[in-house]
Amino acid sequence: MAWWSRTGGLATEQKKSVPKGIWTKCERCNTTMYEDDLVENLRVCTSCGHHFRMSTDERIQMMLDGPWVEHDERLESADPLGFRVDNKRYVDQVKVTTRRVGSGDAYRAGTGKVGGVEVELGCFVFEFMGGSMGSVVGEKITRQFERALAHRRPAVLLSASGGARMQEGVLSLMQMAKTSAARSRLREARIPYVSILLHPTTGGVAASIAMLGDIILAEPDALIGFAGPRVIEQTIRQQLPPGFQRSEFLLEHGMVDEVVPRNQLKPTLERALRWFTAPPARAVTPGADPAVDAGSSDDAP
């Protein structure tokens, strides 16, 4: 507060400041926007189209027609290795993160509808330890695919992860094989699986379940790959091409099927699900009336 006013005498008025959460500055173009406008625009910059990270709750609400039935909420991580870092126990880290995020682990799955089609949808919770995949995440994904198989519903998975969870050692790496095996059973049963890649999708998740979809969609400028670009450059001692491991680069090289802006993500998924779940066309006898042959005449019971 200024101690002297322009007109003379002591200043008595308290300096006013803008409350937090009113404005948000774009990370790419530095445009300042109202937070409410950004939320209304699905957290996409109105100036340059930069996609901000969405919370898991916002993401689920955006993708589904309405409420969903969440499954396996009570699954919690154990500590098979007695893992400690700087005298911090893994079990304590999980408890603190659970209280802060409100989720039991880094994955949420449930049954809902997208465009009127009932699906088994799962979403990585990046807020929970970087969306890392441990035993609970692998179990939840496997159960999601098993429900899709039992009820013959399409499976949809939204990935945003830093990879396997180091605190669980080789047990976390085993989830790559476990989830991939569950996905293969869907393929054998000819049940569709749509994978949606968000920023970032890396490590063991990118090297397994995220890249095994019948259709693979990605948001613009999402980082997708196994090792990070800096690690690769240091390993091969070469300069990587511009945009390496971004979703547009992967589309150009045939690793994803389509890069979809966020406001078009649900409509694109709806079209894919309608295509997958459309009933087969009935054959019409040559020379016959198609309406009568299809059993839709006025005389039909």
Task: Supply 48's token pair.
Answer: 């340059």
Rounded-to-integer distance, Cα 171 and Cα 83, Å: 13
The whole-model pTM stands at 0.85
Question: Using CB atoms within 10 A of its CB, is residue 245 exposed (0-12), middle (13-18) or buried (19+)?
Answer: buried
301 preceded by a cis bond (ω within 30 of 0) = no
Provide the 10 A C-beta neighbour count for residue 187. Answer: 12
Question: In terms of DSSP H, where are the helices of the chain?
Answer: 35-40, 56-63, 90-101, 135-151, 170-188, 203-206, 229-236, 247-252, 265-277, 290-293
Question: Using CB atoms within 10 A of its CB, is residue 247 exposed (0-12), middle (13-18) or buried (19+)?
Answer: buried
The amino acid sitting at 73 is E
Nearest to 272 by CA among 289, 254, 260, 284: 260
In degrees and rounded to multiples of 5, residue 215 shows phi and psi of -130, 135
Please give the angle made by the CA atoms of 296, 297 and 299, to the nearest 5 degrees: 125
Rounded-to-integer distance, Cα 136 and Cα 97, Å: 15
Q: Which residue has the tokens 């991580």?
A: 77
Nearest to 182 by CA among 151, 140, 153, 217: 140
Rounded-to-integer distance, Cα 102 and Cα 231, Å: 33
CB 62 within 8 A of CB 54: yes
Which letter does DSSP use for residue 15 in this model?
A: P
Write down the CATH number for the domain with range 53-277.
3.90.226.10
Partner residues linked to 119 by β-bridges: 112
Task: Supply 141's token pair.
Answer: 């994904």
Q: What is the pLDDT of residue 175?
A: 97
Round the CA-based radius of gyration of the chain to a whole number and report it. Answer: 24
Query: What pLDDT tens digit does each residue of the chain (301 aa) get?
Result: 454 555 555 555 555 555 667 889 998 999 999 999 899 999 999 899 999 999 999 999 999 999 999 999 989 888 888 999 878 899 999 999 999 998 889 999 999 999 999 999 999 999 999 999 999 999 999 999 999 999 999 999 999 999 999 999 999 999 999 999 999 999 999 999 999 999 999 999 999 999 999 999 999 999 999 988 888 999 999 999 989 999 999 999 999 999 999 999 999 999 999 999 887 766 666 666 555 554 444 444 3
Q: What is the pLDDT of residue 159?
A: 98
Q: What is the pLDDT of residue 230?
A: 87
Domain ranges of the chain: 1-52, 53-277
In degrees and rounded to multiples of 5, residue 161 shows phi and psi of -155, 150
Partner residues linked to 124 by β-bridges: 107
